[in-house]
Amino acid sequence: MTVIKRGNSYWIDIGFNHRRFRKRSPANTFKGAKNYELFLRQKLSKGESIINNEHDYRYTFKEIALQWFETIVKNNNKPSEISNKKYTLNGCLIPYFGKMTIDNISSYTIEQYKSKLLNKSQLSPKSINNRLSILSCCLKQALEWDMIKMMPRIKPLKVQPQKFDFLNEAEIELLLKNSYGDHHDMILLAHQTGLRFGEIAGLQWDDIDMKQRKMTIYRSVVKGFEGSPKNNRIRIIPLTNSVIEMLKKRLSNYKYIFHVDFGKPVNHFTCLKKLYLSCKKAGLRRISWHVLRHTFASHLASNGVSVFAIKELLGHSDIKMTMRYSHPNYTLLKSAIECIDPFSKFNGTLTAQIENEEKIYANIKYNFCRDAGN
């Protein structure tokens, strides 16, 4: 792109003989800027200089960020990701870096920003890293556009290993008993399929094959935007008898299986409040919808299901992510560790032998005392 609008002005950005020239257009219209670009190219082709006393234009972070958002983010990201990046840029990064010229943003400047967030906010290291990731994307794009010569180093903060929560079989049964209607059916589906909430919200009747007893996950609804599932992984999930019976009872002419307001997909915030209420009624701790997905994976792992099968069911692109979700239960771990302990291995046999010898000794002692008495 050679003609770019920055604020209220049009700028020409052209390369010639491995040099880059940025000039403000004297005509402040797109057509005038294109004509000025042609004029500059003609001068360069004749070997004439187009450099004058005007200083080279130095882009601010705000200009680069907005250009990156318009040309890269909007063209390549899902609606939910676009919304998230827009919020982070306008609400977090531009207020701090916006007026800085892009070539003045250094590793030291970024470390100062990290220190400010750590000292004056309640943000977790993970949330700060999310901001740094978007900042990194902007700067990398500036490097590709030849607007900076070097990419500053951005060190992410160390994040504590994530603590995963999941329900045991008794807890999930208790939760279902204290849930009703659509909410009950959504919990059952989440527990027995491992779907993300957005995938549950985007599930349509066309995705269900009752004869083959399976569903195909084509889409996800996040913050009201319908798009492809995470990682763009379309997957097929076999259905349990419980889910089949639940779906048969729900058959309707609406497009979405779970809906509000005459066919619109359900809202995450509203459903989360209902989940909290069910937890309270059941006397359980508060959980999120993602805990049900984690419960699904954990129960499969504890029953010896292959981690590769769990990966496909969850729709993960990386086996490492699946490994974080699957937790062998304590009984399996105990059995595993006992196989290398000689005493543990024969503990049951030794105990039985000792008990048997004690019974024999007691019987001999009893008979001896009886005979002596006679």
Instruction: Name, of 15-19, 157-161, 341-345, 347-351, the range with top average pLDDT.
Output: 157-161
Per-residue pLDDT at 373 exceeds 80: no
pLDDT at 53: 44
| Residue range 320-327: mean pLDDT, rounded | 72
- pLDDT tens digit string along 196-207? 999 999 999 999
| pLDDT value of position 34 | 85
Q: What percent of the chain has pLDDT over 90?
A: 46
Tell me how far apart the alpha carbons of residues 34 and 2 are, in angstroms, rounded to a whole number: 9
Mean pLDDT of 290-317: 89
Does the pLDDT at position 304 exceed 70? yes
Q: Residue 353 pLDDT > 70, yes or no?
A: no
| pTM, rounded to two decimals | 0.68
Q: What is the predicted pLDDT for the residue at 306?
A: 87
pLDDT digits (tens, 9 = 90+) for 245-268: 999 999 888 999 999 888 899 999
The residues near 199 (Cβ < 8 Å, ≥ 6 apart) are 217, 219, 220, 229
Q: What is the 3-state secondary structure (H, E, C) of the chain?
A: CCEEEECCEEEEEEEECCEEEEEECCCCCHHHHHHHHHHHHHHHHCCCCCCCCCCCCCCEHHHHHHHHHHHHHHHHCCHHHHHHHHHHHHHHHHHHHCCCEHHHCCHHHHHHHHHHHHHHCCCCHHHHHHHHHHHHHHHHHHHHCCCCCCCCCCCCCCCCCCCCCCCCHHHHHHHHHCCCHHHHHHHHHHHHHCCCHHHHHCCEHHHEECCCCEEEECCEEECCEEECCHHHCCEEEECCHHHHHHHHHHCCCCCECCEECCCEECCHHHHHHHHHHHHHHHCCCCCCHHHHHHHHHHHHHHCCCCHHHHHHHHCCCCHHHHHHHCCCCHHHHHHHHHCCCHHHHHHHHHHHHHHHHHHHHHHHHHHHHHHHHC
Q: For the chain, give the percent of residues with pLDDT over 70.
A: 85
Tens of pLDDT, residues 123-157: 889 999 999 999 999 999 888 887 788 899 999 99
10-25 per-position pLDDT tens digit: 888 887 776 667 777 8
* pLDDT for position 170: 94
Q: What is the mean pLDDT of the chain?
A: 84
Which one-letter amino acid corresponds to residue 335?
S
Instruction: Give yes or no for residue 107 having a pLDDT over 90.
Output: yes
Q: Identify the top-confidence range among 27-36, 113-122, 239-248.
A: 239-248
Q: What pLDDT is recorded for position 50?
A: 73
**332, exposed or middle or buried, with CB in 10 Å at 0-12, 13-18, 19+?**
middle
- Of the listed ranges 49-63, 86-100, 180-194, 281-295, the least confidently predicted one is 49-63
